[in-house]
Amino acid sequence: MRYSQVLLPATGGGAVLAGALGLGANAWILGILAIMLLGVIVGFVMLRKGEKDLNYPPRR
């Protein structure tokens, strides 16, 4: 999805904020967030591998 890089921190941030304000949410939302977190980590590992394979972007 487009803008997923913004939605992810915003979703996590929103959840933290909701918690801090005492709003909370259902546990199953936590499950979705956990899957998203796993996706972020796997995605980042794949990104680093891609960078190594392509030698891109060049170091500045």
Partner 1 sequence: MNSSPLRVSVVVPAHNEEDAIETTVSCFMNQSYPVDHVVVVNDCSTDKTAEILEDLLDKFSPRLIVLTNHVPLLKAGAVNCGLTVLNRRLTDIVVVADADSQFDENLVKEAVSSFEKTPDLGGVCSIAGVLDLEPASKGTSPLRRFERWILWRLQHLEYADFDAERTQTHDQVLVLHGFCTAYRLRLLRGLGGLSPNHLIEDYEVTLRIKELGAKTIFNPEMKAYTKVPDSMKNLVRQRLRWMRGGVDVLMEHGYNKFTRGDFLGHALFVTLLLGVILTVGIGLVQGGWKLTFSLSPIPIALAVFGYAISLYKLRYLEHVDIADVLIRVIIVPELIMSILMSGAQLYAYFLAFAHRKQSW
Residues forming the site for partner 1 (CB under 8 A): 1-13, 15-16, 18-20, 22-30, 32-37, 39-41, 43-44, 46-47, 50-51, 53-54, 56-57, 60
The distance of closest approach from Cβ of residue 41 to partner 1 in the complex, given in angstroms and rounded to an integer, is 7
Instruction: Report DSSP state, residue 21.
Output: T
The distance of closest approach from Cβ of residue 20 to partner 1 in the complex, given in angstroms and rounded to an integer, is 7
Contacts of 25 (CB under 8 A, 6+ apart): 15, 18
Neighbours of 23 (CB within 10 A): 10
The distance of closest approach from Cβ of residue 40 to partner 1 in the complex, given in angstroms and rounded to an integer, is 5
